[in-house]
Amino acid sequence: MTTVVVHTWARDPGNALVRPDGTVEWRSTKLVPGEDDPAAVSVALGIASARDDELVAVTFGDADPSWALARGAARSVVVADASVDEDEAGVAALVAATVRSVDGVDVVVIGDSESHPGVAGTVAGLLGWPVVLGASTARWGDDGLEVARRVAEGVQTLAVAVPAVVAVRADQAESRAPGMKEQLAARKRPVQRVSVADLEVPATVAATLDSTRLPATQGARLFDGSPQEAARALVGALRSEGAVR
Amino acid sequence: MSAWVVLTRPEGAAAAVRAAAAGGAVTVLAVGPRELADAVASAGADEVLWLEPQPGFAIESCAPQVADLVAADSPQLVVGGVEPQVRALLGAVAARLGAAVLSEVSTVRADGMSFVLERAGLGGAVVQGVRTVGPVVALLAADEDEPVDGTAVGVRAAEAGATAPVRVVRTQAAATADGLGTALTVVSVGRGLRSRDDLAMVEQLAAALDAQIGCSMPVADDLGWVPKDHYVGRSGQQIGPRLYLALGISGAPQHLEGIRRAKVVVAVNSDPAAPIFRRADYGVVGDLYEVVPALLDALGH
Ligand SMILES: Cc1cc2nc3c(=O)[nH]c(=O)nc-3n(C[C@H](O)[C@H](O)[C@H](O)COP(=O)(O)OP(=O)(O)OC[C@H]3O[C@@H](n4cnc5c(N)ncnc54)[C@H](O)[C@@H]3O)c2cc1C
């Protein structure tokens, strides 16, 4: 069976320029790896290698497939003409259709993105597979995958039968980026380019941007003056709010 | 027209019902123990339906049945929160309805045949109005903890249905730092602090405010100046104090995830462009080495 990791499926919000009128200009729409993607690849690699199978990376548009290949994926599938925007159901539909096009997939690992929290669950819904979101680790157990994740009550370990989707939340930044050797090896690994027309992407309801504005509260009320003046004014404000006695 | 709210926790139920009301009569589907359904019965919905996972199964196991129950009513609007469990359920619903999915939603308004949802875009830098025609699943931004005072409606138990194979193996209670989770005031320090010795000054301020000490991840993880169970953020403690005072903390999104529930946030930072000032209610642009002693003075210490 095949394990798939989905990576680099969103734009870099750092490339969005917010104009004074609240409209947004994307200086670049290039897709960049999400902050959870390194952790997702690492979890997926653990799952795949524990059963001696290859890890297949899936990505889109102008994403760099060698990013996952250098981190241990054996091959990559790129939906080259896919345009990925902020529509979460649309992204999920594209991901699910791409997964379906890869033979024998029974585990999909994807980053559980804070800024796109609706994607991973919808991917699972479209595939009709069970899902565990907010996962920190996953390994094979007696009944499929044992996935640990943090919830309000503590750390919960769940057993999920495959096929399944595991959505990973990173706990920290990647500790070690691939070195030159891994980068070179990545270039030799196969990259298969497919087109959206080759996939059966389910239709979703379109969401259109009607308006965009700056938030009503523009950040903190700042206290100026000398540190003493600022501190006194701050303590006064906090006292009148009842936040400080 | 009808709308549904799917929830797995009582927090934010009233806000979810209020948002859903734009879609017509509201059915709340409470997935979890009976107490959950009872707790949300007065959140303002027209009907509360209760579904409990089979013994040993996780909330996620209910996803196929939740999709069945919701889809049978063909609602145009489904609202929920952002906890991992509820997103698993909403994902199944969205797929079944072929719905649009929008996150960070704050308000929903009906406009003829369509809905206009306001959502925070780019981590809160903009507010977008998004129009959808057809079913939409809205993940609400924050779970506001407001009191509910509506009249309780009856709770109806849903009949057992399709189950997905997701079981609970074990749950280990969270290792919360002593008192940090329940503290009314937290004084938190970041990499703006230059040395471990300078922590004494911060501790003095914390004592003056009867506060617990928190910190950013690097202060605990990389520097080891504060115990690891005191760092705040997505990977650390998620807290909701009445007052959170951030000293020399830049306000990375991962840090801010830990203070979503904080009531009043104060930032002291030498960089006026530090993102923490966007989340903070009050701020002082300045050197914490000057501002902290001044605060101690102002507090009468
Ligand atoms: C997957 C992932 C998960 C993460 N999880 C967490 C998490 O749970 N919690 C967390 O905190 N971080 C987390 N991080 C790290 C996060 O991205 C930031 O790197 C971190 O929060 C920065 O800590 P800081 O604000 O203390 O340091 P910096 O970002 O270095 O900020 C220091 C601030 O101090 C100010 N400063 C400097 N000198 C002074 C002075 N004399 N007086 C006043 N101000 C001064 C500077 O202007 C600056 O704004 C995570 C990162 C990743 C990738």
Residue B27: pLDDT over 80: yes
Pick the residue whose CA is nearest to atom 37 on ligand 1. Answer: B192
Best mutation site among B186, B270, B279, B287 for ligand 1, i.e. most ligand atoms within 8 A of its Cβ?
A: B270
Task: Return the closest-CA partner of residue B258 out of B194, B188, B203.
Answer: B188
Burial class (CB in 10 A: 0-12, 13-18, 19+), B89: buried
Cα A28 to Cα A24, A113, B195, distances in angstroms: 12, 20, 39
| Domain assignment of residue A22, yes or no | yes
Contact call for residues B230 and B215 (beta carbons, < 8 A)? yes
User: Which whole number is the average pLDDT over B248-272?
Assistant: 95
Residues 6+ away with beta carbon under 8 Å from B195: none
Same domain, A121 and A47: yes
Ligand 1 mutation target, pool B180, B194, B216, most atoms within 8 A of CB: B216
A18 assigned to some structural domain = yes
A204 lies in a domain? no
Residue A86, pLDDT score: 73
Strands B282-285 and B114-121: unpaired
Summary mean pLDDT of chain A: 94
Q: How many angstroms does the Cα of residue B232 sit away from the middle of ligand 1?
A: 11
Instruction: Place B147 in a pLDDT band, splitting at 50, 70 and 90.
Output: low
Taking the centre of ligand 1 as the mean of its atom positions, its distance from the CA of residue B217, in whole angstroms, is 7
B187-216 burial: b if 16+ Cβ within 10 Å, else e = bbbbebbeeeebbebbebbbebbebbbbbb
- The reply to whether omega before B64 is within 30° of 0 (cis) is no
Whether residue A237 sits in one domain with residue A192: no
- Whether residue A119 sits in one domain with residue A76: yes
| A245: confidence class by pLDDT, cuts 50, 70, 90 | confident
Q: What percent of chain B has pLDDT over 90?
A: 86
Selected residues 26-85 of chain A with any CB under 8 Å from a CB in chain B: 35
Residues of B with CB below 8 A from A231's CB?
284, 291, 294-295, 297-298
Cβ neighbors of A163 (< 8 A, separation 6 or more) are: A105, A106, A107, A108, A127, A129
Are A47 and A22 within 8 A, CB to CB? no
Is A129 among the domain residues?
Answer: yes
Cα B287 to ligand 1 centroid, rounded to whole Å: 16
Q: What is the pLDDT of residues A16-43, one digit of tens each?
A: 999 999 999 999 999 999 999 999 999 9
A137 to chain B, any CB pair closer than 8 A? The answer is: no
> Which residue in B5, B26, B8, B27 sits closest to B16, CA to CA?
B5
Task: List the beta bridge partners of residue A193.
Answer: A78
Q: Which residues contact B88 (CB under 8 A, 6 or more apart)?
A: A121, A124, A130, A131, A132, A133, B59, B60, B63
The alpha carbon of residue A17 is apart from the nearest alpha carbon of chain B, in Å, by 10
Please check whether residues A219 and A192 belong to one and the same domain.
no
Same domain, A118 and A219: no
Whether the full predicted model's pTM is greater than 0.90, yes or no, is yes
User: Cβ of A118 and B123 within 8 Å?
Assistant: no
CB of B234 within 6 A of ligand 1: the answer is yes
Contact status, residue B225 vs residue B247, Cβ threshold 8 Å:
no
Ligand 1 pocket test target in B250, B271, B288, B291 with most atoms within 8 Å of CB: B250
pLDDT in the model for residue A163: 98
Rounding to the nearest 10 degrees, give the CA dihedral for residues B244, B248, B254, B258.
Answer: -20
Both A175 and A245 in one domain: the answer is: no
Say yes or no: CB of residue B238 within 6 Å of ligand 1.
Answer: no
Contact B169 A159 (CB under 8 A): yes
Pair A186, A219 in one domain: no
Residues 6+ apart with CB under 8 A from A188: none
User: Over 80: is that where the pLDDT of B136 sits?
Assistant: yes
Same domain for A126 and A8? yes
Any CB–CB contact under 8 A between B278 and chain A?
A: yes
| A44 plus A140 within the same structural domain | yes
Tokens at B278, concatenated: 């966007």
Q: Judge whether A206 lies within some domain.
A: no
Q: Tell me how many domains chain A contains.
A: 2
Q: Which of A126, A130, A150 sits opposite B95 (nearest CB)?
A: A126
What is the domain range of residue A147?
2-198
B63 close contact with A: CB closer than 8 A: yes
* Domains observed in chain B: 2-157 (3.40.50.620), 185-298 (3.40.50.1220)
Check whether A154 has a pLDDT greater than 90: no
Q: Say yes or no: A92 contacts chain B, CB-CB below 8 A.
A: yes
Q: What does DSSP say about strands A31-32 and A10-11: parallel, antiparallel, or unpaired?
A: antiparallel
Residue B230 CB–ligand 1 contact under 6 Å: no
- In this structure, are A151 and A233 located in the same domain? no
**Over the stretch B65-119, which tens digit does the pLDDT of each residue have?**
999 999 999 999 999 999 999 999 999 999 999 999 999 999 999 999 899 999 9
Round to whole Å and give the CA distance between B101 and A206. 9
A208 falls within a domain: no
> Nearest to residue A165, comparing CAs of B165, B169, B94?
B165
Sign of the CA dihedral with B72 first, then B78, B80, and B83 last: positive
pLDDT in tens, B168-179: 999 998 766 568
Task: Assess B301–A contact: CB distance below 8 Å, yes or no.
Answer: no
Query: Does residue A183 sit in the same domain as residue A142?
Result: yes
Note the ipTM here.
0.94
Q: Is A175 in the pocket of ligand 1 (CB under 6 A)?
A: no
Any domain includes A207: no
B295–A18 CB contact, under 8 Å: no
d(CA B210, CA A244): 10
Read off the pLDDT of residues A63-111 as tens digits, 9 standing for 90 and up.
999 999 999 999 999 999 998 877 899 999 999 999 999 999 999 999 9
Instruction: Tell me what pLDDT residue B146 has.
Output: 66
Nearest CB among A125, A231, A244 relative to B96 is that of A125
State the residue for tokens 């979460």.
Answer: A88
Kindly state the helix (H) or strand (E) to which residue B118 belongs, with its residue range: strand B114-121
Tell whether A47 and A135 lie within a shared domain: yes
- Chain A nearest-CA distance from B196, in A, is 22
A203 within some domain:
no
**How far apart are alpha carbons B77 and B259 in whole angstroms?**
29
* B101/A215 touch (CB, cutoff 8 Å), yes or no: no
CATH of the domain at A38: 3.40.50.620
Three-class SS state of B200: helix
> Per the CB < 8 Å rule, is B128 touching A211?
yes
pLDDT for A234 beyond 80? yes
